[in-house]
Amino acid sequence: MPKLKLLAAVMVIGLAQLGSAQAQTDAGVVKTPGRAAVAASRTVTAEVLSVDPATRTVRLKREDGKTFEVQVGEEARNFDQLRIGDKVTMTYREGLTVSLKKGGGGATSVEETPSLERAPKGAKPGGTIGRQVRVVADVVAVNHKTRMVTLKGPEGDTVDLKVEDPKELANVKVGDQVEAVYTEALAISVQPANAK
């Protein structure tokens, strides 16, 4: 599965730069009865300082002045379109939605769906890689005193979660199910040096 290896490698490099840079961060939380969602994104922009076609290595300079190198795999299209001065934008997005399914009754499950989208041939390099993980678990215990809910997944593992909102906790019963959907993606785009 070379595409999944590429996905993992690019995410590691991109996340390392996003984590250590002065990034623009946006976050938000939405709550409704029986459902909560949180989403966040971080964006870092860097300038191409050099391109080595022989080793497919690109040296980049972040807005905070720090430089780093990235080796671009053969799977990435349009490497030859990179130029000194081009602007590379990396945006990491993640989100989590948790929903209560009253009465339960469905099967517990874990599903992971990877995604990979590359720039079209002839364009500047770029693309998006990501994954979505969906988990359905049974509520097997509710402790109103400690505000803890115990969930049991499809492989029999349990996890205890603290519910901060007493009104939400009052709505949770043994036998209900919780569905959690986690999504993460890293988008990389390149703009020509002369673009405004």
Taking the alpha carbons at both ends of the chain, their separation in whole angstroms is 38
Structure tokens that stand for 68 in this block:
């780093």
Q: Check pLDDT > 70 for residue 53.
A: yes
User: Mean of the pLDDT values across residues 186-191?
Assistant: 93
The encoded tokens of residue 183 equal 């999504």
- Residue of 34, 22, 10, 46 lying closest to 149 (CA atoms): 34
pLDDT digits (tens, 9 = 90+) for 19-38: 555 566 788 889 899 999 99
Helix (H) or strand (E) holding 7: helix 2-20
The dihedrals phi and psi of 20, each to the nearest 5 degrees, come to: -100, -5
